[in-house]
A and B are shown apart, each in its own frame.
Chain A
Amino acid sequence: MDDASTSFLGENGKWHRLIHRVRGMGLWFELTRNLASRDVETRYKHSLLGLYWAIINPLVTAAIFGFIFGVIFHVSTKPIPYVVFYLAGLTFWNFFANGIMSAVGSVSGNAALLAKIYFPRVVLPTASILARFIDFLFSLGVFIIFILIYRVLVHWTSLWLPAILLIQIFFTMGIGYMVAALNVLYRDMTQLMGLLLMVWLYFSPVIYRLSAVPKTLQTLLLIDPMGTIIEMERNVIFTGRILYPEYLWVAVAWTGVVFLGGLALFKRVEPMFAEVM
């Protein structure tokens, strides 16, 4: 509606339009933020342990993996303690997986909102991923506490973490837009993604180290951007150097393609939302 309201001509009109755009963007950003905080709050408002679920989940999973691989199969994670190692991988992976899983139903679960009035629908999956980012921050806090408890050496390169996370967020959003749009058309997208993410988890170096894998398989695993991202996130924290820097660009390229592709797909399916639901 912003475009249509400015039928003034000339330079003045252009500026007007730009100001309108920027103001409009600000409002949509606020809507995204409001929806995200709605999401976070509802998730924890009426559950017994509240926000602790965001913390308990990765802890229990880390403990299970620690028991199975560390105690039963004697897989070494040295010099990092089992719990810290598994927690590292799972904290970052869970942000990705949970982000996808809540994006998938973000459009189809808000039919009432869609019927009401126009707003850029992309706001919905974006907000749900943003909400999972808040969860992620809490589990990151737990991860840090465990690092302190076990006195694990952390490198200065950890400061690169936000940049790598940014790549991860854009990648998550790209996939999130795709599956959110497709889920409107095909409702079992949720189940499919649940299955797919489980397979994806085991084929990414989340609960094992890349260096523990045969060389030929390593390349294959690094082509998967999530594999590269998780491996890098662990690298900058624990070893202080990125083991496979050349794959960083592969991951960045993937992220660009997936994000733009996801957005394009979403925009393409968007006009059908009102009719299908």
Chain B
Amino acid sequence: MAAIRVEQVWKQFLLKKDRADSVGHLLLRMIPQPHSKRPKSEPFWALQDITIDMAEGTSFGIVGNNGSGKSTLLKILTRTMTPTRGSIQVSGRVSALIELGAGFHPDFTGRENVYLNGSILGIGRKAIDQKMEEIIEFADIRPFIDTSVKYYSSGMQARLGFAVATSVDPEILIVDEVLAVGDESFQQRCMDRIFAMKRGGTNILLVSHNLGAIERLMDQAVWINQGIMQKIGNPRDVVFAYRQSMIDQNEGRSQTETVSEVAETQGGPLELRDAYVEVDGHRVDSMQSGTALDLITEVDNVTGTALSGHFSYTVRRPDGLEIVSLSSMLDGPPMTFQRGLGRVVVHLPELYLTSGEYEVDAASFDGNGRRLAEWRALIRFSVQAMQTTPGLLVLPHQWHIR
């Protein structure tokens, strides 16, 4: 039996430009007007033919760019919206972490709001009474539970909202990127709790931009782009496809930017032909953290004679933070570039980067160290690490107690 079944759901929004939003406006519109003057309604399909089958006891991740229709889908699943076409079936009590603290009344105390929120989520007073201690404990607001919610910080409100929504023993938990609130330790506790619930058999539907979490923790995933399902299935494949598309998008965008820079350097003695990353002799765009790789640039020595010079690579994050610089100048005497086509290869036996996108800048120098050419963001690749950790590197390590 499926916990959630979405069958060929389409959702259309009418961007009605002439919708009367007041009775006065409505009366005004009754005055006849030339037909052409009226702004027309534009239909907009937010979701197109979405079909998802989420089996009982499983978890499901949804990824996609902003505006891709993820939230619309969630609204349909929480039944705050109805689909234009198609049908949904949700079996079991739903709790949603969508707008934490929404529905809290500022003038009421935390405790009163817990009862109110509980009854909105379909839980009676008695059941809440039993859970009250646990909720206060988890939200960590014991001294303030009998204070008006309007005096709470946004973090406290979010914690209380999370605590209530997860304490009502839902059969299906819908989570929409809410874990961005609260400090890191609370986020960690939220994640722990969600996955404790998952182990306990609660169905989890997670929308997140934290691709690592979806990849590691979900049983299945779907990637939605502009309302259309792009890929559904194994989260690793889905996330990989999604990442790949983001890289492609970025490339399309930056090509125009880099043209001028490349143009400047054209006419140098070494002309750029191609640049890429190889793992085990295969050209790749994405790799596991820690694997051996080669950074390869194909250049054409157009001077007609052999040329001695240097080459450098800088691996950096797209935001500009430089992680490692490799320059043949620091490593030894000049290299010799033979006439015609040649490959500049630097081999890195291990590169323990954290998950993310990276860019490689390259530059060529003559034998005296004078810069001949420079290429920004010459190579782009992405890295997937098993663990998502803060910092730049995921280093192999072992723990001991001595």
Contacts and interface: CB of A to CB of B under 8 A. Distances in A.
Q: Do A and B form a real pair?
A: yes
Interface of A: 1, 4-5, 7, 24, 26-27, 30-31, 34-35, 38, 41-42, 45-46, 110, 112-119, 185-189, 192, 271, 274-275
A34 B92 CA distance: 24
A205 B57 CA distance: 63
B119 A118 contact: no
B79 interface: yes
Contacts of A186: 20-23, 25-26
B80 A42 contact: no
Given A38-B108, A116-B99, A188-B23, A1 B119 contact: no
21 contacts: A1-B91, A1-B93, A30-B125, A38-B108, A38-B116, A42-B105, A42-B108, A46-B107, A112-B99, A113-B120, A115-B80, A117-B95, A117-B96, A119-B120, A186-B20, A186-B23, A187-B21, A187-B22, A188-B22, A188-B24, A275-B81
Given A112-B99, A117-B98, A38 B105 contact: yes
B115 A34 contact: yes
A118 B123 CA distance: 13
A76 B116 CA distance: 50
Given A188-B23, A188-B24, A274-B81, A116 B89 contact: no
Interface in B100-114: 102-103, 105, 107-108, 112
A135 to B, nearest CB: 18
Nearest to A35: B116
A5 to B, nearest CB: 4
B131 interface: no
Contacts of B388: none
Contacts of A112: 99, 102-103
B330 interface: no
A24 B1 CA distance: 22
B82 interface: yes
Interface of B: 1, 13, 20-26, 75, 78-82, 89-96, 98-99, 102-103, 105, 107-108, 112, 115-116, 119-125
A1 B20 contact: no
B376 to A, nearest CB: 44
Contacts of A31: 119-120
A110 B80 CA distance: 13
B78 to A, nearest CB: 5
The interface residues of chain B, by DSSP majority, are classed as loop
Nearest to B77: A118
Given A34-B115, A186-B20, A188-B22, 7 more contacts: A41-B108, A113-B103, A117-B94, A117-B120, A186-B21, A186-B22, A186-B25
Contacts of A110: 103
A9 to B, nearest CB: 13
A158 to B, nearest CB: 35
Given A38-B116, A118-B80, A275-B81, A1 B90 contact: yes
B22 A27 contact: no
Greatest chain A CB density within 10 A among B23, B24, B81, B121 is at B23
B98 A116 contact: yes
Nearest to A6: B91
A30 B79 contact: no
Given A116-B98, A274-B81, A34 B119 contact: yes
Contacts of B92: 1, 5
B107 A118 contact: no
Contacts of A35: 116
Most chain B CB inside 10 Å of its own CB: which residue of A35, A42, A117, A186: A117
A45 B80 CA distance: 31
A42 B119 contact: no
A46 to B, nearest CB: 7
A162 to B, nearest CB: 27
